[in-house]
């Protein structure tokens, strides 16, 4: 047992044969959620670590499964722990591990044109080499699996008419209703975890900030927490408070942008413009106080790279208070717009049972009645002093998601103002000595729980970097929200999910 950011971690060796029993026991009887699956290639073979956080914040269990060299098979747990489905498929594609009993492996991260048996995350594969070419790419018009009269498959993407991220959705239908939905992601796979290997921590930080620019600060924070956990570095109190302040500023900006996208998806242009004005004002505020519109470069191991003076704090406090009033006015306007509510109410429903079964995270899960929030469960950066009020709604539809966004934005404004008024004096950065070891950083990013697992070698260089992002988790639940609804609901459900492909694909 070791203490790691005030949370207890038990590291348990697990023989492959017992993995399914223990995973089921943790999930069903002890109420553990699923964190991530981390595959590491070690000298003796493989070390596969399953991370399970306790769903009321008591601690973490790491199940470590060791495989000898040449033994590439371990049992799949995806039928017991649904959230392990995609991590297993990813590990199969990138490492060539086989998960026996998994119903669908292959062609996930690496698309059809990538030859079988070439696994880029293996040590023997050099990141700098050319992508190997195997079979021809997927046909543009796939045939449906659905067997019914008039069945057809409608592919949407990967290039869209507006400014949308690359991803493909294959909607199978016999007419109006989306009966089966097959999302195809990883068009944006940039191999962040692979190219981080061998780099120094401060260079990987640039990558951590830039793989998902819309929540750059949260991911930079999670990465730095992992580095600080390895070095046992203490972050000064003022630096921790500033981290919370910037993280909430980013959440507020992200949620404003998400609200604008939801209004835009229903064609309510004035409301979209109102939210977009708030978003732009927050971007400008971030740029004025921190030198970058998306807060790149603010985070650094051991603290933050800049301090805010009294004038800047007052400016932030006053500006967000004003924006808060305008957000409330916008919410009031939306609440009485029946044509708007008709489009998002009882659309794209994710039930509490489904949200729990798929271990969904973030505002999406909180709109479906789950109250998990890493700021409260596993507090970091001094969030325990702030008494964060977690916003939850029960219905799990598009409107519930919108209400959660408004409530979280309001809470962020309260936190920013409280932090700005109560900032203690002191240093904003402590020295961090790189040490060998492994660390986990966990942050409640704007979209949900983000996990960054980092292993450093004796030279302080990254040997393994694993990112479990909230979008990767939540896209798994996208299919269940779509199926049964009509085509016309697709863009609206997509907007109310508000997930990022850059964050998912990495």
Partner 1 sequence: MLHWLGKGLTTGIKSSAYPASPDKNPGVTPGRPVATRMGPDMSQFVADRCPGHCFTPRANGVDVDYRTCILCNRCRRDTPAVVHWEEGYEWGVQMSAQSVHERLNSAFGRSLHIRFVDAGACGACMSEARLLNNPYYNMHRLGFFTTATPRQADILLVAGPLSDAMREPLRQTYDAMPEPKRVVAMGVCAISGGIFGKSFASAGGIAECIPVDVVVSGCPPPPLAILHGLLLVVNRVPPSSLASALDAESGP
Query: Which among 391, 45, 382, 86 has a CA at the least distance from the CA of 241?
Result: 382
**How far apart are the C-alpha atoms of 407 and 370, rounded to whole Å?**
15
Among positions 36, 212, 241, 474, the unique one binding partner 1 when judged by CB under 8 A: 212
161 or 309: CB nearest partner 1: 161
In whole angstroms, how close is the CB of 137 to partner 1 at the nearest point?
A: 5
CA–CA distances in Å: residue 374 to residues 114, 383, 401, 496 = 37, 9, 18, 22
The stretch among 35-43, 44-52, 198-206, 461-469 that binds partner 1 (CB under 8 A) is 198-206
Residue 336 engages partner 1 in binding (rule: CB under 8 A): yes
Instruction: Using CB atoms within 10 Å of the CB of residue 104, give its burial: 0 to 12 exposed, 13 to 18 middle, 19+ buried.
Output: exposed
Residue 307 engages partner 1 in binding (rule: CB under 8 A): no
Query: Which among 469, 444, 374 has a CA at the least distance from the CA of 221?
Result: 444
232 or 284: CB nearest partner 1: 284
Residue 197 engages partner 1 in binding (rule: CB under 8 A): no
Within 110-129, the residues that bind partner 1 by CB under 8 A are 111, 113-114, 120, 125, 127-129
In whole angstroms, how close is the CB of 399 to partner 1 at the nearest point?
A: 18
Residue 339 engages partner 1 in binding (rule: CB under 8 A): yes
In whole angstroms, how close is the CB of 254 to partner 1 at the nearest point?
A: 9
388, 377 contact by CB (below 8 A): no
> 85: how many CB neighbours lie within 10 A of its CB?
20
In whole angstroms, how close is the CB of 190 to partner 1 at the nearest point?
A: 5
**How far apart are the C-alpha atoms of 172 and 151, rounded to whole Å?**
7
Within 452-471, the residues that bind partner 1 by CB under 8 A are none
58 or 113: CB nearest partner 1: 113
412, 329 contact by CB (below 8 A): no
Residue 309 engages partner 1 in binding (rule: CB under 8 A): no
28 DSSP assignment: I
146 or 283: CB nearest partner 1: 283
In whole angstroms, how close is the CB of 120 to partner 1 at the nearest point?
A: 6
Residue 166 engages partner 1 in binding (rule: CB under 8 A): yes
Rg, Å, the chain Cα set: 22
Q: Which two tokens stand for residue 466?
A: 């694993």
Residue 107 engages partner 1 in binding (rule: CB under 8 A): no
Within 128-147, the residues that bind partner 1 by CB under 8 A are 128-132, 137
**How far apart are the C-alpha atoms of 158 and 233, rounded to whole Å?**
43
48 or 204: CB nearest partner 1: 204
In whole angstroms, how close is the CB of 157 to partner 1 at the nearest point?
A: 9
**How far apart are the C-alpha atoms of 87 and 36, rounded to whole Å?**
7
Cβ partners under 8 Å of residue 80, min gap 6:
20, 23, 24, 27, 28
Instruction: Tell me, by CB under 8 A, how many residues bind partner 1.
Output: 74
In whole angstroms, how close is the CB of 412 to partner 1 at the nearest point?
A: 18
Residue 187 engages partner 1 in binding (rule: CB under 8 A): yes
Within 245-304, the residues that bind partner 1 by CB under 8 A are 257, 268, 270-271, 273-274, 276-277, 279-280, 283-288, 291-294, 296-297
In whole angstroms, how close is the CB of 115 to partner 1 at the nearest point?
A: 12
Cβ partners under 8 Å of residue 180, min gap 6:
144, 145, 146, 171, 172, 483
Within 484-503, the residues that bind partner 1 by CB under 8 A are 500-503
324 or 379: CB nearest partner 1: 324
Residue 163 engages partner 1 in binding (rule: CB under 8 A): yes
483, 228 contact by CB (below 8 A): no
Residue 70 engages partner 1 in binding (rule: CB under 8 A): no
> 291: how many CB neighbours lie within 10 A of its CB?
13
3-state secondary structure 270-313: HHHHHHHHHHHHHHHHHHHHHCCCCCCCCEECCEECCCCCHHHH
In whole angstroms, how close is the CB of 357 to partner 1 at the nearest point?
A: 28
In whole angstroms, how close is the CB of 280 to partner 1 at the nearest point?
A: 5
The stretch among 214-222, 342-350, 371-379, 393-401 that binds partner 1 (CB under 8 A) is 214-222
């Amino acid at each position: 047992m070791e203490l790691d950011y005030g949370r207890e971690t038990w590291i348990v060796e697990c023989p492959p044969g017992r993995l399914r029993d223990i995973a089921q026991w943790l999930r069903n009887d002890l109420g553990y959620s699923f964190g991530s699956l981390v595959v590491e290639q070690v000298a003796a073979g493989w070390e596969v670590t399953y991370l399970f956080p306790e769903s009321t914040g008591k601690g973490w269990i790491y199940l470590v499964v060791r495989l000898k060299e040449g033994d590439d098979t371990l049992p799949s747990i995806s039928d017991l722990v649904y959230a392990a489905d995609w991590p297993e498929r990813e590990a199969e594609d990138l490492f060539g591990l086989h998960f026996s009993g998994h119903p669908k492996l292959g062609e996930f991260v690496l698309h059809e044109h990538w030859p079988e048996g070439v696994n880029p995350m293996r040590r023997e594969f050099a990141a700098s080499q050319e992508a190997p070419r195997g079979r021809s790419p997927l046909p543009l018009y796939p045939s449906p699996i659905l067997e019914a009269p008039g069945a057809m498959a409608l592919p949407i993407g990967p290039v869209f008419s507006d400014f949308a991220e690359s991803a493909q959705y294959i909607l199978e239908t016999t007419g109006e209703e989306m009966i089966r939905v097959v999302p195809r992601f990883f068009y944006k796979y940039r191999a962040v975890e692979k190219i981080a290997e061998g780099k120094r921590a401060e260079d990987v930080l640039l990558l951590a900030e830039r793989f998902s620019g819309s929540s750059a600060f949260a991911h930079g924070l999670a990465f730095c927490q992992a580095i600080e956990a390895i070095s046992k570095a203490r972050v000064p109190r003022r630096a921790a408070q500033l981290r919370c302040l910037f993280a909430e500023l980013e959440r507020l900006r992200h949620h404003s942008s998400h609200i604008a996208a939801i209004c835009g998806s229903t064609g309510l242009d004035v409301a979209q413009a109102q939210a977009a004005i708030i978003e732009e004002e927050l971007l400008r505020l971030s740029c004025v106080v921190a030198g970058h519109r998306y807060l790149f470069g603010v985070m650094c191991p051991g603290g933050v790279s800049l301090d805010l003076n009294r004038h800047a704090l007052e400016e932030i406090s006053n500006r967000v208070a004003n924006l808060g009033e305008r957000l409330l006015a916008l919410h009031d306007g939306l609440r009485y717009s029946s044509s708007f509510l008709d489009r998002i109410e009882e659309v794209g429903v994710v039930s509490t049972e489904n949200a729990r079964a798929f271990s969904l995270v973030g505002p999406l899960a909180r709109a479906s009645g789950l109250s998990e929030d890493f700021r409260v469960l596993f507090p970091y950066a001094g969030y325990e002093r702030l008494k964060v009020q977690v916003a939850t709604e029960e219905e799990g539809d598009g409107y519930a998601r919108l209400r959660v966004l408004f409530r979280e934005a309001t809470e962020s404004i309260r936190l920013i103002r409280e932090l700005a008024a109560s900032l203690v004096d002191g240093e904003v950065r402590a020295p961090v000595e790189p040490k060998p070891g492994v660390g986990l950083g966990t942050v409640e990013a704007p979209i949900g729980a983000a996990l960054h697992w980092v292993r450093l070698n004796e030279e302080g260089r990254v040997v393994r970097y694993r990112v479990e992002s909230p979008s990767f988790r939540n896209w798994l639940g996208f299919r269940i929200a779509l199926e049964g609804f009509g085509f016309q609901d697709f863009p609206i459900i997509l907007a109310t999910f508000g997930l990022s492909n850059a964050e998912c694909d990495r």
